[in-house]
Amino acid sequence: MENSLLYLIVAGVPALLGMIAQGWLKSAVANGQKYRTDITGAQAARQMLDANGLQHVRINRIAGVLTDHYNPSDKTLNLSPDIYDGYTATAVGVACHEAGHAVQDGTHYAPLVIRNMAVPMANIGSNIGLALFAAGLGVQQASQNTMLAWIGLGLFAFVSLFQLVNLPVEFNASSRGKAFLNSSGIVSGDGTGLVRSALYAAAMTYVAATVQAVAQLLYFFTMMSSRSRNSN
């Protein structure tokens, strides 16, 4: 009963934070789309890239909604239609946030380097780690051997590490994007506040994901510690 209540808290609180963050992001994006700019998101990103000596970074138009991302492997900035073609505060804000990741890559920003290194292990941890952990719990019940579960939990820990390292990466990319938009005069007045709100709301979704990953890790760690003590 105690474990069930603890898991309900661990799962429920981050989920609630995620719902709040997503609702805030949806509202902030909608408000930012009401402010019209003189250039598109793609044009704003191009200006920011060129200003930082990144003329070699290509900007692609991709399908989807808010599927925008920078790909460090092929040095491309990929923007969804609403962002690529949009003449709005949301469009230039998101585009310059992603351009901020390209600038990070170009300057070898340490947290980004660490995050990119953590991606493969985070993928393994999210897919294989939990499976090994679950299998290990079954082995532990049958033989009192907890090694397999601890290995799975160790792999899953990389998911939390990735989320923690990702936070400064995302906040820094937003700071770079906002600074360029302000200094270039692409947005001003109300537009500045709308860009800030949209990017801050987006950052809060990463915060919620980090809270969820860390809370799950701590819950599973507490469970295993308790089982290890009881088996001795």
Digit-coded pLDDT (tens) for 187-229? 988 888 999 898 888 888 888 888 888 888 887 788 777 766 6
Q: Which of 113, 80, 78 is nearest to 98 (CA)?
A: 78
Type of residue at 10: V
Residue 45 clears pLDDT 90, i.e. is over it? yes
**Residue tagged active-site, from 98, 152, 197, 212:** 98
At residue 1, the pLDDT reads: 45
Q: How many domains would you assign to the chain?
A: 1
- At which residue do the structure tokens 């800030």 appear? 196
| Structure tokens given for 148 | 């397999």
Q: pLDDT tens, 93-138? A: 999 999 999 999 999 999 999 988 888 888 877 778 777 777 766 6
Domain enclosing residue 65, as ranges: 2-231
pTM: 0.82
- 2 assigned to active site: no
